[in-house]
Every structure is written in structure tokens, then in C-alpha cells.
Amino acid sequence: MAPWRSSRASDDGVLDSPESLAREGYACHGAELYRYALSRLSDDGAAQDAVQETIVRAWRAGARFDPARATLRTWLFAILRNVIIDHAAARARVAALPAAVAERGEGQMPDPMGSVADADLITRALGLISHDHRTAIVETYLRDRPYDEVAAELGVSVSTLRSRVFHGLKQLRHTMKMMVVEP
């Protein structure tokens, strides 16, 4: 039996699975998580999605919950905070798309050859930055995987992964500028 401690009083005080942990987390703190997400995202649907993603991540990471380090409530709010950060980053990427289209000129069709050239430039530039930075960018930014999942897979903290993405994107931009030949 796994050592998950229940935040609710139960007979033995132990939950028997990550599923039980996630189920109890939602039952005890779902409404509170939703209110917090709604206050941060200002969108009912996005707040519901954020709470759902939080519970799914809690279920997946249930084995890492340590009641000696934090209560179930605190742990769930930490997960929700990361979900909201990921959601905001995704919103920013989507918001940047119309600006990129506007730079080409309204009504213009995208240039498929330019897209191929851009993809080739990015691929070559990715090959020139450090392995850690490249992995962080590919897994989180390009494959759009959750930071906590990638961090666990790589054996680093989420803050370390976020730092690698930040500095990796900075290196990537610099490398691409150096690779582009200006007319």
C-alpha cells in the first residue's frame, strides 16, 4: 500500500492509490480550485479545463505526493498554479500568430517555400544550441508537453526546466540571427 495520507479523516488515514488521491482532492478542494482558476483566467471554460488538468496531473503524479512536505490542498494548488502558467503561455503563443500573419500583409497567402526555409533554419539552429536547452524547447515548446511531466522525465525541477526553455529560446534566437544572411 502506498503511503499517501488523506487530508480527510478516514479510518486508517491512508489512500490506496493515486486515483483515490485525485478523487479526494477534487471532492475536498475542487470548488476552491475552480474559484482560484476563474479569478486568474477570467473565463469559466478555461477555469474548468484548468481544474480538470490539475486533477489529471495529480492523478499521474500521485506517487510523488508527500504529505510530510505539504497538505493535499497545498500540493493541488501548486499543480494548478503550473497549469495556469502553461495556459497563459499557450495563450501568448496563440496571440502571437495573428501578429505574424499581419507582418506578411493582410490577405496574402503564406509562402510555403518560406515556411520550409523557416523550418530548416530552426532545425539547423536547434542543432547548434546545447543538448539540455534543445531538449527543453522541443519537449515543452514544440511538442507542447506540460512542464511538470517533462521535468519529471528529465529528473530536474520545474524551475530548472523553465530556465532551460527561457535561456534556450534566447540562444536559439541569437543563433538564428547569426545564421541569417542579411541582403
Q: Does domain 111-183 have CATH number 3.30.1380.10?
A: no
Q: How far apart are CA 126 and CA 168, in angstroms?
A: 9
Assigned C-alpha cell, 68: 510530510
**pLDDT tens readout for residues 43-87:** 888 889 899 989 988 988 888 888 899 999 999 999 999 999 888
pLDDT at 54: 92
Which residue type occupies 63?
A
Q: Which three cell numbers stand for residue 84?
A: 495556469
CA distance 17 to 20: 5
- For position 51, what pLDDT does the model report? 93
Q: What digits encode the pLDDT tens for the residues 122-144?
A: 778 888 888 899 899 888 877 88
Domain ranges of the chain: 1-108, 111-183
| Residue 43, all three cell numbers | 473565463
Q: What is the pLDDT of residues 94-122, one digit of tens each?
A: 666 555 544 555 555 555 555 566 677 77
**Among residues 54, 26, 50, which one has the least CA distance to residue 40?**
50
Cα distances (angstroms) measured from residue 1 to each of 20, 22, 81, 89:
12, 16, 29, 38
In the CATH hierarchy, which top-level class contains the domain 1-108?
mainly alpha
DSSP H helices, 8-157, are 18-41, 44-60, 72-104, 112-126, 131-136, 147-154
Q: Is 58 within 8 Å of 17 (Cβ atoms)?
A: no
What contacts 6, CB < 8 A, 6 or more positions away? Answer: 13, 14, 15, 24, 72
Q: Classify 19 as helix, strand or coil.
A: helix
Q: What band does 93 get if pLDDT is binned at 50, 70 and 90? A: low
Cell reading at 143: 511538442
Q: What is the mean pLDDT of the chain?
A: 78
